A and B are shown apart, each in its own frame.
Chain A
Amino acid sequence: METHSYFPVPPGVGMEENFLSLDDILLSHERLPSRTECTFPRLGFLEKSSDSRDIQEGTKMEMPLFLAKGLYERKRRVVSVELPKVYKEGWRTVFNADPTVVDLHKMGPYYYGLGSQLLHFDSPENPEIAQAVLQTFIGRFRRTMDSSQNAYNEDTSALVERLDYLERALFRAGQSGLNSFQNWERGRASTITASSLVLNYRKRKITDLQP
């Protein structure tokens, strides 16, 4: 098990977003196609395609997730959010057919996170979106787990490039477990090595001076 000197806050599970998690903060930058339901006076600079001074009602624009979540209300006076095409009917059937061949990194590197956050927007297709995200994860998990546990000391970029960030975190966890186990088998588990924080900080001046 890795022992860190600090504990980074993990991304939230399901529909939760952790306030202090860097992964969730980066996730909330993803853009969603949305449509404004009322005018936003003097905010025309946000939308580059038209140069009016304010945003008219009914403009279609791309909003980042944090903005859309903050402005969304159930009575839908302000914005209405459309689903990105990866979560629509067409792509859902593709994921149903065979989840393992899809390049999830290209589909938005935060496929699972964004899919879970979309459930906040009360679209009528919510149960199907949830099911599709879940089934995709179940379908792809086995391959991720196998590849992370059996790729020792080799270049894993080909395995990792089609995974989204959640799967990459799982892959890294599997790899670190595998490496720790191999170290333990070779009896190198109790050798003290320099901490990565110290090495990166580059304060090892005495060893540099030694011939």
Chain B
Amino acid sequence: MSDTLSDDASGGDDGQEDVMTPAELIGKLEEAWLNEKFSPELLENKSEMGECVMEQLTHMEANLQRVRRGDVKASVHRMEIDRIRFVLSSYLRSRLQKIEKFFPHVLEKEKSRVEGDPSFLSPEEFAFAKEYLANTETYLKAVALKHMPPNLQTVDMLKAVPEPCLDSFVFLRVRERQENILVEPETDDQREYVVDLDVDSQHLMRYRAIAPLVSSGAVQLI
């Protein structure tokens, strides 16, 4: 499937510094989708990858218009287009769900990040988060807070909305060998210990221990 895909969409790579075949691009999209679905916090934003995928999809649809009707390959390609579109929209949907759930913390993280670091939110997501915050505050004020005594009329959103739980357990598959990952103790009787992660092994660990590895791509959440 992937080589017919690259035949049809061979012109879609221009405009990127590192040339990626469309198959690799779709692979990266699926990895980002799985990581975003299973991680308890909002991960780094991959908007340039999303835009490349959209370009590919429009290219493929344009190709499909030129094919004559009734060709079996056309319906298979159409299914492929639909599947890729679903993966992309599911990726964006899970990001939006997390933004809605943790909106004050997301905005706080964005405000306090250093200038050179990659951003966690695309410009549209940032605008969405700010609007959501403004709407929620207006709603709470109009429904409840304006009837309260004057010194109780503010709600601190950072304390009111629960933080993402970084201690939740996630399944992961290791793609690059890692040594000396420190695992914190869970109860008072346990001690902290170190584990080594071998390539292609699968583990169930707390997210906090492997959070930096997910963003660097050394492990894949499953």
Nearest CB in chain A to that of B188: its residue:
A127
Q: Is B212 an interface residue (CB 8 A)?
A: no
Cβ–Cβ contact A18 & B101, under 8 A: no
Q: Is A9 an interface residue (CB 8 A)?
A: yes
Cβ–Cβ contact A20 & B160, under 8 A: yes
Q: Is A201 an interface residue (CB 8 A)?
A: no
Cβ–Cβ contact B101 & A12, under 8 A: no
Residues in A neighbouring B97, C-beta threshold 8 A: 7
Determine the interface band of chain A, counting residues with CB < 8 A from chain B: 10 to 19
Cβ–Cβ contact B100 & A7, under 8 A: yes
Residues in A neighbouring B101, C-beta threshold 8 A: 7
Q: Is A158 an interface residue (CB 8 A)?
A: no
Nearest CB in chain A to that of B160: its residue:
A19
Distance in angstroms from B101 CB to nearest chain A CB is: 6
Nearest CB in chain B to that of A9: its residue:
B162
Distance in angstroms from B190 CB to nearest chain A CB is: 14
Residues in A neighbouring B155, C-beta threshold 8 A: 19
B-contacting residues, A138-161, CB 8 Å = none
**B-facing mask of A17-43, CB < 8 A → 1, else 0?**
011110000000000000000000000
Q: Is A13 an interface residue (CB 8 A)?
A: yes
Cβ–Cβ contact A16 & B100, under 8 A: no
Number of A-B contacts (CB under 8 A): 18
Nearest CB in chain A to that of B136: its residue:
A20
CA gap between A21 and B97 in the complex, in Å: 18
Determine the interface band of chain B, counting residues with CB < 8 A from chain A: under 10
CA gap between A16 and B162 in the complex, in Å: 9
Q: Is B165 an interface residue (CB 8 A)?
A: yes
Residues in A neighbouring B191, C-beta threshold 8 A: none
Q: Is B54 an interface residue (CB 8 A)?
A: no
The residue among B101, B159, B162, B165 with the most chain A CB atoms within 10 A of its own CB is B162
Q: Is B161 an interface residue (CB 8 A)?
A: yes
A-contacting residues, B151-167, CB 8 Å = 155, 159-162, 165
CA gap between A12 and B162 in the complex, in Å: 8
Distance in angstroms from B147 CB to nearest chain A CB is: 17
CA gap between A143 and B69 in the complex, in Å: 58
Residues in A neighbouring B161, C-beta threshold 8 A: 9, 19-20
Nearest CB in chain A to that of B140: its residue:
A20
Nearest CB in chain A to that of B187: its residue:
A134
A-contacting residues, B119-170, CB 8 Å = 155, 159-162, 165
Nearest CB in chain A to that of B93: its residue:
A3
CA gap between A20 and B155 in the complex, in Å: 11
Nearest CB in chain B to that of A10: its residue:
B162
Instruction: Give me 8 A-to-B residue pairs in the complex whose CB atoms sit less than 8 angstroms apart, sorted by A's number.
Output: A7-B97, A7-B100, A7-B101, A9-B161, A10-B162, A18-B162, A19-B160, A20-B160
Chain B contact residues, CB within 8 Å of chain A: 97, 100-101, 155, 159-162, 165
Given contacts A7-B101, A9-B161, could you give 16 more A-B pairs where the C-beta distance is less than 8 Å?
A: A7-B97, A7-B100, A9-B162, A10-B162, A12-B162, A13-B165, A16-B162, A18-B160, A18-B162, A19-B155, A19-B159, A19-B160, A19-B161, A20-B160, A20-B161, A21-B162
Chain A contact residues, CB within 8 Å of chain B: 7, 9-10, 12-13, 16, 18-21
